[in-house]
Structure 1
């Protein structure tokens, strides 16, 4: 009685002994785990790109809003006075300014 491995096991052993298969597997392992641009680094880079794109969009909106306010302030003196009073608490010589700070109720 002769013991033989099943055909699929023999094919698997032959595949593992194949030098082209071994070189291909070593290359894939190197590229996935050890290379400068491995999969984990690529994932982190993509996360950084998404974060930077969100920041870019936020700053575009903020820039548009500031440009709009600037154009309103340069074209309208009443708007400029209102802006100075609200943002920088400026006042005329004969005026008094009172700040009312309201407490937020926590639930």
Structure 2
């Protein structure tokens, strides 16, 4: 008894042993291998997140370097101390007025 599907093109395609090896290889590389496509996607997302963190921290470093250069001047040190830490001279009195709903933002 002859196989009725033998002359069909899809049967020839699916009965080819090289096609099965290729399909197995593709499935292995996409799902099972240590360097699979899905693992690469996760790693690429982590790389993107770390690069964003790098740019953020680089901007913060630049901002801090500007602040350090500015604090080389004694007048700027006094201004910074008065604004951030509410420091005063001995002969001064400082009054902090808070309105309801307002709060001091501390960094």
| TM-score category of the 2 structures, normalised to the smaller one | 0.7 to 0.9
Q: CA RMSD of the aligned region, Å?
A: 2.3
User: Quick check: 2:14–2:20 contact (8 Å CA) kept in 1?
Assistant: yes
Name the CA distance, whole Å, in 1 between partners of 2:41 and 2:14.
Answer: 31
| TM-score normalised over the length of structure 2 | 0.78
Q: CA deviation at 1:41?
A: 1.3
Which of residues 14, 17, 29 in structure 1 aligns to 2:15? 17
Q: CA deviation at 1:20?
A: 1.3
Which of residues 24, 37, 47 in structure 2 aligns to 1:26? 24
Name the CA distance, whole Å, in 2 between partners of 1:86 and 1:28.
Answer: 64
The structure in which a higher percent of residues are helix is 1
- How many aligned residue pairs are there? 100
| TM-score normalised over the length of structure 1 | 0.78
Q: Name the structure 2 match of 1:96.
A: 93
Name the CA distance, whole Å, in 1 between partners of 2:16 and 2:43.
Answer: 36
Runs (4+) of structure 1 exceeding 3 A deviation are 3-7
Q: Name the structure 2 match of 1:85.
A: 82
Q: CA deviation at 1:65?
A: 0.7
In the alignment, structure 2 segments of 5+ residues that lack a partner are 103-107
The DSSP-based 3-state class of the residue aligned with 1:36 is coil
In the alignment, structure 1 segments of 5+ residues that lack a partner are none
